[in-house]
Structure formats: structure tokens, C-alpha cells
Structure 1
Amino acid sequence: MSMTTTHTKDRQARMGLLARANPTRLSALMPDLPPHDWLRPPESGAVMVQGRVGASGGAFNLGEMSVTRCALRLKSGAVGHAYIQGRDRDHAARAAAIDALMQGPSAERIEADILSPLRREEESSRRARAEKAAATKVEFFTMVRGED
């Protein structure tokens, strides 16, 4: 895998984590935005969500979902982008700022102070949901009747 492909996959995973993050928690981890200029200020809109029946079924329009997007440039020149579900402009701005900061010398600090805690919390939440679902699992078995 090339370095560009690895970087792209890392960035995709990071942007997904930021988009899924709890906005209140993200705000607590990053209370202030770094100095920046807006390339595209946060704006809300809608995107069409498509569904697919089975793994090979044809795509169909499931419905619309609201999203907020933005792009900013830090004073260092790094550009950050974000798309998040919903209409939280502050959430989108923080995600874009973190995207931009990860392209500079503060990437290790941002990884340790913001992204790692978000990953741990997301994994803990995922594990708790899986345990809760496992507790409701029903095991079915077939009893053999004596007349066979």
C-alpha cells in the first residue's frame, strides 16, 4: 500500500470518528478554535441517502438527511474540511479545524489529546451495545421427538 493510500485511509477514518463524535465531548476536548479563515463557513443542507436490498440489490432512494459542511484555512496554510450529520455548525467547525491541525506539527498532540480519547470512548460504547445485544440473544435448538 502506498504512502498516499495509507494517508487517505487514515484521514477517512479520522474524519469518520470526528463526524460520529458527541459534539459536547468534542467541545470539551477542544474548547477554542485556532485562528483561521473560512473558505466555506458552516452551512447546512440535505443529501439523499440511498439504500440497497441485500448485498447485490439495486440502489433506491431511502430519504434525505441533513448535513453541515465547512472548510477553513489555518494561519499556517493547512486546509481542513468537515461534513457532519445534522445542523451543528460548531461541531463541523471543530472537525474541520482538527483535520487541518493534523496536517501540521501539532498532529501528535491532537492525536493524543483529542482523537485517542474519542476512539477509546467510541470503542467502549460499541462494546457496551454489543454486550447489551448479546444479553438478549435467544438460542434456538431442535428437540428430537421420539417417534422418528
Structure 2
Amino acid sequence: MTDEYTTTLHDWAGGTAALERLCEAFYRRVRADDLLAPLFAAMPPDHPRHVAMWLAEVFGGPARYTAERGGYPTMLRHHLGKAITEPQRRRWVNLMMDAADEVGLPADPEFRAAFAGYLEWGTRLALANSQPGAEPVRDAPVPRWGWGVAPPYRP
């Protein structure tokens, strides 16, 4: 095991299995949500697993989303033309944070700050990239999200 300064967010969260549980709980909430359900009406059954693969890679886990799904260009294509609204973006973040609580992702402030930071950053990009006429960068690497300035503290 690495120390608290080099442990990835992926490992701290509990690995890919924890992120899969997170995405399953999250998308159960999405399907029942009046604001988000229409946006995800055509969601294939394996969508939660694919989002978990994305998050795992972003948080320092295996690069399976890139290897198996095509990386950033694939994720971008899923958002183009969706015209996501600010209320939908905020609801997405809120439901993801609720799902994190439900499945028991670490609740320490350092992890949750990094986790919430990525959700805010990523959803703001998705919102911008989803707008009609948007011209996003089409080929970029999957982002790698870390602890920022506050690594986890272990007494």
C-alpha cells in the first residue's frame, strides 16, 4: 500500500468495485429523477459500468476506458448536442454526492473535496460541450484527478 501522499483517489475510494457500486446507485436515482430521467431515457444497461470505468481512470485507476471505450473522444461524443442545462448539471452533481453517501465512499473531507472538485469541473465541461454550436477540443487525454493541495490526513 502506498502512503497517504501517493494513494490514488481510485484506491482511496475502494477501487473500481466501489466506483461501480457508486454508478449503479447513482443511475438508479437518475432513472427516478424528473429532471434527469429524460436526458438518460436511451441509456443502455451497461452505461453505469462505463461511467465507473471512466471515473476509475480519472481517479488514477486502470486506463480501461481509454483501452476499451476510446478515451476522451468517446466521452465527448456522448455529450455533444445534448444541450444540458445548469439545473440538470447541478442535479447530476447532487445525485452523485448522494450516491457516494449511499454506497459508503470515504467521507473524509480531503477525499470528498477532491471528488466534488472533479464532479464540478467535469460537469461544467460537459455542460459547455453539450451546447448547440459548441466547438470543444475533440482529442484530449482522459484527465487525471488527484488530491490537489490537501492530501488525506491519517493520525
Q: Normalized against structure 2, the TM-score is what? A: 0.25
Q: Which is richer in strand?
A: 1
Q: Which has the higher helix share?
A: 2
Q: TM-score when scaled to structure 1? A: 0.26
More contact order relative to length (CA 8 Å, sep ≥ 6)? 2
Query: Larger radius of gyration, structure 1 or 2?
Result: 1
